[in-house]
Chains A and B, each alone.
Chain A
Amino acid sequence: MSFLAKVSRLDRRWIYLMIALSVALPLVWPFSMPVKVSPHVQSVYAALDALPRGSTVLCSFEYGPSTMPEVRPMADAVLELLIQREHKIIVMCLWAEGVFMARDILDDVADGRHHLEYGKDYINLGYKAGNEVVIKSIAESFTRTYPVDTRGQATASYPIMQGIENLANIDFIFSFSAGYPGTVEWVQYAADPYDKPLSTGCTAVQVTEVVPYVHSGQCRGILGGLSGAAEFEHLLRDKGILPALGAANTGMSAQSIAHLVIVLFIVIGNVAFLVERRRQRKY
C-alpha cells in the first residue's frame, strides 16, 4: 500500500487524539485574537438597544447541559445588557433542562452580580411540557399556563407580573435555543401571529436553519454559536457594557485551532484520495 493510501486509511483513534490535543492544548496555553463583529450580531444589539428603558422582556431558555458551552456565554451577555438597561425580565423554559440552566445563570448574573429583587426585577416561571403549544398557551394567558413559579408562589402575586396578562403585554422576546422547540417555534407561534419583536441566540447547528427568518425580518439578528457569543461579548465590551471579555472569547483560541485541524484533515484526505484515484486510473 502506498504512503498516501496508508495516510487516507489512518486509524480513527489517531484522529481522535489529534482533535483532543487541538482542543486541550489551547486551553492550557490560550492566545487571544481580534474578533470581527458580524452584521447579524450587530442586529441583535440594535434590536435590544432600541428598547425603551424598563421594557418587559421574555427570555426563554431552551438549552441543556449538552449545549451549555455554546449558549450560556451569550445568555450571560444578553442578560447583562438587559439588566443594565433596567428591563424587567420574565424567564420561562420550553425544555425541562432549561430550568437549571436558567437558575444557574440567574443566580450568577441577577443575584450574584446585580443583586436584583426576585419578583420585582425578574421572575423565573420554570418549565411546562407541551413544546410549542406552551407558546400558544402564554399568548392567551400567563397565569393560567403558569399558576405558580419555580418557588411555588402564585405567579399573579408578584409585582413584575402585574399588568402582564399574556404575550400582548411583552415588549420583546429573546430565545436561547438549542433545537426543538426553540427559535423556529417562537417565530411561528409568537413573532408572526402576534407581531412580537424577537431575537435569538442559538447553537451553531441551528444557524443555517434560522437565518432565513433573519433574512425575512421575522427574527431580528442571530447570535450563532460560540463565535456569535464571542462577537457579542466584544461588542458589549466596546460599548462599555461588559468590563471584560467572557467565556466565549476564552474558548475561541481552541475553537480556531480545532477548525484549522479539521480543515487540514479534509484537505489531506482529499489530496490522498485524488492522487490515489489518478494512480488507479493510470494503471
Chain B
Amino acid sequence: MLFKRWIPLGILIFVGLLTLVSWFVPHDPIGHLGQDFSQFFDILASFAIILGAANLIKLQGLKILQRKRNWPYSIVTIVGFLVMAYVGMNWHSYFGSQARYLAGTQVNHPQSHFFWIYWYIFQPLSATMYALLAFYVASASYRAFRARNLEATILLAAGIVVMLGRVPLGQTFTGWLPEQGFASGFRLEQVADWIYTYPNTAGQRAIMIGIALGVVSTSLRLILGIEKSFLGEE
C-alpha cells in the first residue's frame, strides 16, 4: 500500500500544495521550487507523449500477433511509425548535405526527411481528416436538425443568423438597410455580432462559471487527498 497508495498520494498533495502556494509566495524556497516543478512538469509531459507512442506500438503489435480484424493495416501503422521515428531521431537524415549536423535541428529544418514526411504525408492527412467534417455537418444540418420545439428553433435561428451574418453574401440580404441609425441594428452582420457578443456571452459565461466552480472543487479534493480515483480507488 505504501508504493501503491501513500507515496503517490503524498506526491500529489505536496506538489499540489506547493504549486498553489507558489502563486502567492514568489520568494525562495517556494518560488524556486515552483519554477523547478514547472520545468519538471514539461519534461514529464514529454515522457507521457513518448509513452503514448510506445503504447500504440504495443497495441498494434498485439493486434498483428493475435491476427485481429484488419490486422494487416496495423503493419502500415508500425511501418509508418518506424520510418518517421527513424528520420526524426537521426540527425543526419537530410536531402543533400548540411554544413553541420546538430542533433535535434532536423525536426525544424525544411531540408530534412522529417520535414518532407510532415509536409507531404502528415499535413494532408491531418487536414483532410478534419475537412471531412464539413460534409458531416452539412449532412447533419439537412437530415438531423429539426425545429421540434421552441428551444431547437431558437438554436437554429441563432445558427442561421450567424452563418449568414458572417459572410459577405449573407450580408447583402440586408444591405439595403442604412449603415447608420436605429435601422442599421437590423442588418444581418450587426445582428450576428450582437448575438455572439451578448446573449452568447451570457450563456457561455454561465457555463464557464459552472465549470470553474467544478474545477476548483475537484482540484481541492485532489490536493486534500479526498479524490483517489486516479489510484483506481473510489
Chain A interfacial positions (CB closer than 8 Å to B): 8-10, 12, 15-16, 18-20, 23, 33-36, 38-40, 64-69, 97, 99-100, 103, 107, 124, 126, 128-131, 133-134, 136-137, 140-141, 144-145, 148, 150-152, 193, 207-209, 211-212, 215, 225, 227, 252-253, 255-263, 265-266, 268-270, 273-274
Contacts and interface: CB of A to CB of B under 8 A. Distances in A.
A259 B163 contact: yes
Contacts of B172: 33
A65 B163 contact: no
Question: Interface majority SS on A: helix, strand, loop or mixed?
Answer: helix
Contact of A130 (B42, B108, B196): B42
A18 B135 CA distance: 9
B178 interface: no
Interface in B26-78: 35, 38-39, 41-42, 45-46, 49
Contact of A33 (B164, B166, B168): B168
Contact of B171 (A36, A208, A255): A36
A211 B168 contact: no
B134 interface: yes
B156 to A, nearest CB: 6
23 contacts: A12-B143, A15-B135, A35-B168, A65-B122, A65-B126, A66-B129, A68-B127, A69-B127, A100-B108, A100-B118, A129-B42, A129-B45, A130-B41, A133-B41, A137-B35, A145-B39, A212-B204, A253-B168, A256-B169, A260-B167, A263-B160, A269-B145, A270-B145
A99 B107 contact: yes
Contact of A140 (B35, B41, B169, B171): B35
Contacts of A225: 166
B226 interface: no
A3 to B, nearest CB: 16
B139 A208 contact: no
Given A64-B126, A152-B102, A207-B196, A259 B170 contact: yes
Interface in B106-146: 107-108, 110, 115, 118-119, 122-124, 126-127, 129-131, 134-135, 137-139, 141-143, 145-146
A8 B143 CA distance: 6
A65 B128 CA distance: 9
Contacts of A133: 38, 41-42, 45
A99 to B, nearest CB: 6
B227 interface: no
A129 B46 CA distance: 6
B204 A209 contact: yes
Contacts of A145: 39, 42
B197 to A, nearest CB: 6
Contacts of A23: 134
B104 interface: yes
Contacts of A151: 102, 105, 108
Contact of B169 (A39, A67, A130, A257): A257
B38 A137 contact: yes
B20 interface: no
B123 A65 contact: yes
Contact of A212 (B137, B146, B163, B201): B201
Interface string B150-171: 0000001001100110111111
A134 B43 CA distance: 10
A119 B171 CA distance: 44
Contacts of A211: 196-197, 200-201, 204
Contacts of A193: 23
B42 to A, nearest CB: 3
A152 B107 CA distance: 11
Nearest to A68: B127
A152 B115 CA distance: 16
Contacts of B38: 130, 133, 136-137, 140
A208 B200 contact: yes
Q: Which 6 A-B pairs have CB atoms at the shortest separation, nearest pair first?
A: A130-B42, A256-B169, A33-B168, A65-B123, A66-B130, A150-B108
B163 A262 contact: yes
